[in-house]
Structure 1
Amino acid sequence: MIKKLFGALALVLSCGTAVVHAADAGYPLESAPKPVTDLGALQNGAKIFVNYCLSCHSASAVRYNKLLQIGLTEEQIKNSLLFTGEGVGDMMDIAMSPKDAKAWLGTTPPDLSVIARAKSTNAGPSGADYIYTYLRTFYRDTSKATGWDNLVFPSVGMPHVMWDVQGPRTLTTTTVHQVSSDPANPEAPKVWERVTVTYDQDGYATSQKETLQGEAHASFDAKFTSLNPEKDAAFDMDVADLTAFLAWMSEPVQQDRKLIGIWVMLFLFIFLFVAYRLNAAFWKDVR
């Protein structure tokens, strides 16, 4: 029995490790800096969500009055978050139907009610890290239909809706990979090549290729350069708040769940001690 228990535990741990390693295969994720216990961040994140996200993305599993839990009053919700006649008890839904969304946007924008939990299944230990990095890695690219692309989600169909908050910036990517020394000859040896692509603030790209001498290893590096550092810093703070709100919205009771879990474990340890003593008292005369 003990061997089976340890075997099951090892399986769970190995599965968890596999998820983290799978996430490492893509663009590296940055840690979301704001916890879901920061009420100020959650309140600002709710405002950003309603103003920038809720026109296309619904949160149909959450009611507006759920925001009372993050310190907002009904009056604040009515005055700051309700703009089209909704009630405080209504779901955070959108007027656009899935059919219209697909016709107008090419695809139906996903519901964001549990997006942080959904992304945690394939983005390492935290879906909040995925969201935080994703929202901060948009860049202009004139070759895309929307005029935007994303490092975390290449060829994403969503434009950068908060570009005016972030301000202009450029992106330089450096890729090292192997290519054939003679594309016309399939048996030609491969050589290492470095490709540097720079996207200016308007999304126009310039590319430079360089053949490397000797051995190298495959790599990818990306560097953003902000043309308005003050706006960029303020944008990062807003994204951190929005990420915290999305993480909270995905599981509003997560703090209560963790606290209940601690009490349950404490009870089980106490019960284990009581059961051990009862077992010793029961078998004392038999032995």
Structure 2
Amino acid sequence: MKKLIVMLLTLLPTMVMAAGGNVHLDAANNDLSDKASLQRGAKTFMNYCFGCHATQYQRYERVATDLDIPLDIMRENMIFDRDAKIGDLMVNAIPTEYAANSFGAPAPDLTLVSRVRGTDWIYTYLRSFYADPSRPFGVNNVVFPSVGMPHVLEELQGVPSKVYETRLVDGEEVQEYVGIKSDGTGELNTEEYDEVVRDLVNFLEYAGEPMKLERQNLGLWVMGFIVIFFVLTLLLKKEYWRDVH
């Protein structure tokens, strides 16, 4: 009984976060086998996210090796702390107290965020910021209302705003939220921005489970072995029990 209670308490935060909100989540449709996408996602993460968010359960060298990034390029272009070594964990330099004072709470580590939130949640979240002057950083988020995080990808997307459509409901006109639209001042158009976000989500999914593809491939071999072993066992059983029956 005690073990059951501990397990439920462990799973409760995940269940709450997964069930929270009624916002439709767009499918990320990312591909862990696409090394080019993972490399672009790693670049975006290091340039736009790593200043606040760490992936402290990863090592620079492991990421470089898995994503086919030469170690010298990783060292020169993706390790901003010159005191860090290629084999170090990917821990950012922002002090916890400073982050808490700036954002209201320390920026969470993102190594396992894809396993807690899900890739569709992250993909939709990063495309759901909108301008809100009442918020400390001038933005809010449809998926995560009253978010304490600035829209760090705004220079790529531009200034986003909510889009509404007028619809008749029981004879009355009602403003219904239908999505987010950029003002066009960003470096990328909508399709290009969505692709950047998809690459970033792809990298975060890899970070959460670097062995996922290998595990899935190994699982197929294991299932194949079980099937073959079952057939052999069945034939052996028939051979042993032939005289009895």
Q: Is TM-score (shorter-chain normalized) higher than 0.5? A: yes
Say whether the 8 Å CA contact 1:60–1:113 is kept in structure 2: yes
> Hey, what's the Cα distance between the residues in 1 that align with 2:145 and 2:235?
60
Q: In terms of mean alpha carbon deviation, does 235-244 or 164-173 score higher?
A: 164-173
The alignment-based identity, stated in percent, is 35
Displacement of 1:56: 0.6
> Which of 112, 133, 136 is equivalent to 1:142?
133
Please report the TM-score for the alignment, with normalisation by the length of structure 1. Answer: 0.72
Q: Could you say what secondary structure the match of 2:76 adopts?
A: helix
Deviations 1:164-221 (A, max 9, x none): 1111343224699x9xxxxxxxxxxxx997553xxxxxxxxxxxxxxxxxxxxxxx53
The size of the alignment, in residue pairs, is 224
> Which of 85, 93, 99 is equivalent to 1:95?
93
**One-letter identity of the residue aligned with 1:159:** P
**One-letter identity of the residue aligned with 1:74:** L
**One-letter identity of the residue aligned with 2:138:** G
1:49 maps onto 2:45 in alignment: yes
Instruction: Specify the structure having the higher radius of gyration (Cα).
Output: 1
Q: 1:171 — aligned with what?
A: 162
Q: 2:9 — aligned with what?
A: none
Which structure 2 residues correspond to residues 99-248 of structure 1 after superposition, within 5 A? 99-119=97-117, 127-173=118-164, 196=175, 220-228=176-184, 230-248=188-206
Displacement of 1:233: 2.9
For structure 2, list consecutive stretches of 5 or more residues without a partner in the other structure: 1-14
> Hey, what's the Cα distance between the residues in 1 that align with 2:159 and 2:98?
32
> Hey, what's the Cα distance between the residues in 2 that align with 1:139 and 1:244?
23
Displacement of 1:99: 3.0
Q: Could you say what secondary structure the match of 1:99 adopts?
A: helix
> Hey, what's the Cα distance between the residues in 2 that align with 1:192 and 1:38?
50
> Hey, what's the Cα distance between the residues in 1 that align with 2:146 and 2:156?
22
- Would you identify which runs of 4 or more consecutive aligned residues in structure 1 move more than 4 Å? 22-25, 191-195
Say whether the 8 Å CA contact 1:63–1:91 is kept in structure 2: yes
Displacement of 1:31: 1.0
Deviations 1:57-94 (A, max 9, x none): 11000000112111101011011101221211011101
Say whether the 8 Å CA contact 2:51–2:92 is kept in structure 1: yes
> Which of 23, 31, 35 is equivalent to 2:31?
35
> Hey, what's the Cα distance between the residues in 2 that align with 1:23 and 1:29?
12
Deviations 1:21-70 (A, max 9, x none): x7596111111133111111110110110111111111000000112111
Q: In terms of mean alpha carbon deviation, does 79-88 or 258-267 score higher?
A: 79-88
> Which of 242, 245, 250 is equivalent to 2:208?
250
Please report the TM-score for the alignment, with normalisation by the length of structure 2. Answer: 0.83
Deviations 1:113-139 (A, max 9, x none): 0110111xxxxxxx1111111101100
Q: Could you say what secondary structure the match of 1:221 adopts?
A: strand
